[in-house]
Structure 1
Amino acid sequence: MREDRHVTTVLAVANQKGGVAKTTTVASLGAALVGLGQRVLVVDLDPQGCLTFSLGHNPDRLETSVHDVLVGDAEARDVVVGTEEGVDLLPATIDLAGAEALLLMRPGREFTLARALAPILDDYDTVVLDCPPSLGVLTLNGLTAARSVLVPLQCETLAHRGVGQLLRTVREVQQITNPDLQLLGALPTLYDARTTHSRDVLADISDRYGLPVLAPPIPRTVRFAEATASGATVLSGRANKGAAAYRDLADNLVKHWAGSELVTLG
């Protein structure tokens, strides 16, 4: 009897609006998945290198990065670095800003990342892509390479601005470059359960766009800023509500990828 072939889950985390805890979600979710026994790679597609920094690497001191992989000067396997969280990282530097212009001139540019990751996918159970806060060619590469996409959404007024445009982009990717892409839904971030305002924003998103809202919401906590400044994730150090939420989210996603229904709010 033939064994089932290992299938790596590739998750894109995308929202062109900044300040929605997108990078925090990638780093913390990656660490939480490692805690569940998964082999995890996170990919920094943002030229600002915030994910790279938050996982303990200084982008200014790296000799190679995902930029070199995308332009064909290096293999992904040779650029991946380890982290104290147990997550492998394909890091970014400011050089990545120039990759976008180079990719625009290439045929099949949306598939560049997928081709670059293909040789190392079997080394991991989950790959999480930190897409930049834009809908340019780097985000299109992320969506084309992914099996599913998660949209972090800050629970504040006007947080949904641009969500419609992102959803249109996802639909276009599904029609043209990646028909298997699954939109998982919105992840509430910076959530304050004490306010009706946070709950109203979530209800508006669900009603306006028909987006599932994933559970649990990620609470607002100072621990996120403290962790980022120290080059670690919120899961390291003492117990806190942010870490607990990301562990629950990781458990929710792993069970979903194994065939269970996603746990959603409402």
Structure 2
Amino acid sequence: MTRNDEVETQLPGMDAASIAVKPGPTGRPQRAFPVPAPLAQHGPAKIIALCNQKGGVGKTTTSINLGASLAEYGRRVLAVDFDPQGALSAGLGARTHDATTIYDLLLNRHADVQEAIQSTSTPGLDIIPANIDLSAAEVHLVNEVAREQILAGVLRKVANDYDVILVDCQPSLGILTVNALTASHGVLIPLECEYFALRGVALLIETIDKVRERLNPAIELDGILATMYDSRTLHSREVLERVVDAFGDRVLETVISRTVKFPDASVAATPITQFAPEHQAAEAYRQLARELVFRGAVA
């Protein structure tokens, strides 16, 4: 492995969230958030949509590894593949053919949600898969009554079985993404540390505001997550500084660095926390899980 493959993000082993460790990549003190306490009971789930209309920013990677990290901390997690490309399903080794998918649940109100749920290799992490059929859903949903709320109705049936439901959205702001936002309590925006990735964030936040105003008053922005960060490049550092200047505390302290371990783990259909449990990337996603619990975005 070359030096270009790794960027240092490892946090010292501190257990007090209030202790400033060192200046972090975001320019703020980088804290070590505490390991969350076990839950006395499970459910109802906090539903979080992972959205960005730009592709290739780390939505699916974050859905997989955040879900696995939360499951490590005793949370029951359901990942919902809401992208016709089915990358989340492939990344978790889910069956997508001859299987009930999220497409079936959207179009058939009598379909059994439990039949669509598949377990993964990570204890506590389940998935509802998707395949290319989902690309036809927008056409079929156009004439449906309350079409923006169909996913919410599907997830409501299993919300009490989980602590967190992560919805991996497709890279668009179409009716499927609006469905995800309408169903969700919070939104996590993965943002690649690259200039062109910045341009659509304001539009996405505007869309979230419209959904809050018209469809889902409860939705909140849980945070903007910087991904694919390379501290050795001036460009990455400048983009991250601009994001923090623009959005302040809405930018999470956790930063996900670029590494070849992520595509390697994807090929193995395994979360990074299992594929390379001691790697800095695995610790970064555990840190993200701890930060979201600390912020109250997740139970």
Are 2:47 and 2:166, in contact at CA under 8 Å, matched by a contact in 1?
Answer: yes
Distance verdict in 2 for CA 1:192–1:253, change over 3 Å = same
SS state at 2:222 partner: strand
Are 1:16 and 1:166, in contact at CA under 8 Å, matched by a contact in 2?
Answer: yes
Of residues 227, 230, 233, the one that matches 2:265 is 227
Are 1:164 and 1:209, in contact at CA under 8 Å, matched by a contact in 2?
Answer: no
SS state at 2:152 partner: helix
Are 1:81 and 1:88, in contact at CA under 8 Å, matched by a contact in 2?
Answer: yes
Alignment of 1:210-225 (within 5 A): 212-225=250-263
Alignment of 1:1-266 (within 5 A): 6-59=43-96, 61-72=97-108, 74-86=111-123, 87-209=125-247, 212-238=250-276, 239-257=278-296
Aligned residues: 257
Alpha-carbon distance between aligned partners in 1 of 2:104 and 2:47, rounded to the nearest angstrom: 21
Distance verdict in 2 for CA 1:160–1:62, change over 3 Å = farther
Alpha-carbon distance between aligned partners in 2 of 1:56 and 1:4, rounded to the nearest angstrom: 28
Deviation at residue 259 of structure 1 after TM alignment: 9.0
Are 1:15 and 1:166, in contact at CA under 8 Å, matched by a contact in 2?
Answer: yes
Deviation at residue 185 of structure 1 after TM alignment: 2.2
Aligned residues: percent identity? 42
Alpha-carbon distance between aligned partners in 2 of 1:236 and 1:134, rounded to the nearest angstrom: 30
The one-character-per-residue Cα deviations of 1:80-112 (angstroms, maximum 9, x if unpaired) are: 101002210010011111111111111211100
SS state at 1:134 partner: coil
Alpha-carbon distance between aligned partners in 1 of 2:82 and 2:266, rounded to the nearest angstrom: 18
Deviation at residue 5 of structure 1 after TM alignment: 9.7
Q: Which moved more, 1:201-210 or 1:114-123?
A: 201-210
Write the letter of the residue equivalent to 1:13: L
Write the letter of the residue equivalent to 1:249: L
Distance verdict in 2 for CA 1:105–1:131, change over 3 Å = same
The one-character-per-residue Cα deviations of 1:217-263 (angstroms, maximum 9, x if unpaired) are: 00101000000111111111332111100000001112222799xxx
Are 1:12 and 1:128, in contact at CA under 8 Å, matched by a contact in 2?
Answer: yes
Q: Which moved more, 1:132-141 or 1:70-79?
A: 70-79
Q: Which has the larger radius of gyration?
A: 2
Distance verdict in 2 for CA 1:209–1:254, change over 3 Å = closer
Alpha-carbon distance between aligned partners in 2 of 1:252 and 1:220, rounded to the nearest angstrom: 20
Alpha-carbon distance between aligned partners in 2 of 1:211 and 1:108, rounded to the nearest angstrom: 34
Alpha-carbon distance between aligned partners in 2 of 1:158 and 1:21, rounded to the nearest angstrom: 15
Unaligned runs of 5+ in 1: 261-266
Unaligned runs of 5+ in 2: 1-39
The one-character-per-residue Cα deviations of 1:1-41 (angstroms, maximum 9, x if unpaired) are: xx999432111100010010110000000000000000000
* Aligned counterpart, 2:33: none
Are 1:79 and 1:90, in contact at CA under 8 Å, matched by a contact in 2?
Answer: yes
After superposition, the CA RMSD in angstroms is 2.0
More strand by share: 2
SS state at 2:292 partner: helix
Are 2:186 and 2:297, in contact at CA under 8 Å, matched by a contact in 1?
Answer: no
SS state at 2:226 partner: strand
Alpha-carbon distance between aligned partners in 2 of 1:258 and 1:109, rounded to the nearest angstrom: 27
Are 1:75 and 1:116, in contact at CA under 8 Å, matched by a contact in 2?
Answer: no
Q: TM-score, normalised by structure 1?
A: 0.91
* Aligned counterpart, 1:264: none
Alpha-carbon distance between aligned partners in 1 of 2:235 and 2:157, rounded to the nearest angstrom: 46
Deviation at residue 158 of structure 1 after TM alignment: 1.2
Q: TM-score, normalised by structure 2?
A: 0.82
